[in-house]
Amino acid sequence: MNQSIFSILVLLLCLSGCAVSGNHSAAKAVPVHPSAGDADFTNVPVQKTNDPLQRLNRSTFRFNDELNTYALRPLAHGYAAIVPRPVRTGVTNFFDNVNYPVRFINSVLQGKITRSAQETGKFVVNSTVGVGGLIRVSDHISSLADVPAEDFGQTLGVWGICPGPYIVIPVLGPSDCRDLVGFAGDYAMNPLNWHTLGIIHCAFISDAVSIALSGTRFVNGLPKSVESYDQLKAEAVDPYVAMRDAYLSYRAAQVKK
């Protein structure tokens, strides 16, 4: 089943018109600051975006907005009221630490050996001194602090695969074809999903435990996600375009790191 989904995603990526070249991109690089000759500062072109599914995407965006308003925001506020911020941070740190294989494998796949060694160092230090990853002790070690997190979407970008069309996914939000495939790849590399995928069989991890862990991770991240979305919506005159531009620019910058 999971292989089928992955195959569909790969097919989507291929059908999106992607090629292993930089000629087609969701956000074509254009200068975003005025040249010295642009006297009135208005002659900078708008970034061209690959958004052929805009009508569908806007509908999905509206659905996600309603979902955020009537379900996720109340849930996030309730969770934040019950669970104090330090505990939420600890839970986030734990799941980030468990996600180490994703960052390590993708660093290796991108040929960033030093970064993969740093990720290993972070994992060892945080898992031991940081009490199973709850505390990010590595932040206080200069050589292990501020290591950019790699994922499979970035790996595909480094390999020269273009982002493809912009897509808004129900519940999850903005993405593009490349990141959709990357999401599936990261899912498979995350140890929390190995039991579900049948990669490992552990007697004390049942499907229920696996689902509970995924649910905890999702709910724990909700307060931040909802706050972020509310901020963007409050500041944007067109939240859909603001989200799309920010997402594509952000991911393009991450690939270059």
Partner 1 sequence: MLLHRFILRSALVLFLGSGQLSGAASGDDAAALLRGSVEEVLSIAYSGHTNETLAARVRPALEKCFAFDIVTRQAMGRGWRQFSATEQKRVTDLFSELMIRTYSGRVVGTQRPKIVFGSPVATASDRCEIPTRVTTSSSNDPIAVVYRMIKLPAGWRIYDVLIEGVSFVANYRAQFDELIQKGGALAAIRSLEAKLAQPLPSHS
Does position 110 interact with partner 1 (CB under 8 A)? The reply is no
Sole binder of partner 1 in the list 172, 199, 209, 212 (CB under 8 A): 172
Does position 77 interact with partner 1 (CB under 8 A)? The reply is yes
* Contact set for partner 1, span 120-149 (CB under 8 A): 136, 139, 145-146, 149
By beta-carbon proximity to partner 1, the closer residue of 41 and 204 is 41
What pairs with residue 173 in β-bridges?
169
Whole-angstrom Cα distance, residue 100 to residue 126?
Answer: 11
Q: How far is the CB of 255 from partner 1 (least distance, A)?
A: 10
What pairs with residue 11 in β-bridges?
none
Closest-CA residue to 249 (of 51, 103, 30, 55) = 30
Q: Please list the alpha-helical segments (H only) found in 71-176.
A: 73-82, 85-98, 100-109, 113-128, 152-158
Contacts of 64 (CB under 8 A, 6+ apart): 168, 170, 171, 173
Q: CB under 8 A: which stretch of 11-19, 116-124, 192-200, 247-255 binds partner 1? A: 247-255
Q: CB under 8 A: which stretch of 12-20, 109-117, 196-204, 222-230 binds partner 1? A: 222-230
Q: How far is the CB of 235 from partner 1 (least distance, A)?
A: 5
Closest-CA residue to 245 (of 22, 21, 50, 59) = 50
Q: Looking at residue 197, what DSSP letter applies?
A: T
* Contact set for partner 1, span 182-201 (CB under 8 A): 183
Side-chain half-sphere exposure of 115, counting CA atoms within 13 A:
20
Does position 34 interact with partner 1 (CB under 8 A)? The reply is yes
Name the site residues for partner 1 (rule: CB under 8 A). 32-34, 36, 40-47, 49, 76-77, 80, 89, 92-93, 96, 136, 139, 145-146, 149, 151, 169, 172-175, 179, 183, 221, 223-238, 241-247, 249-254, 256
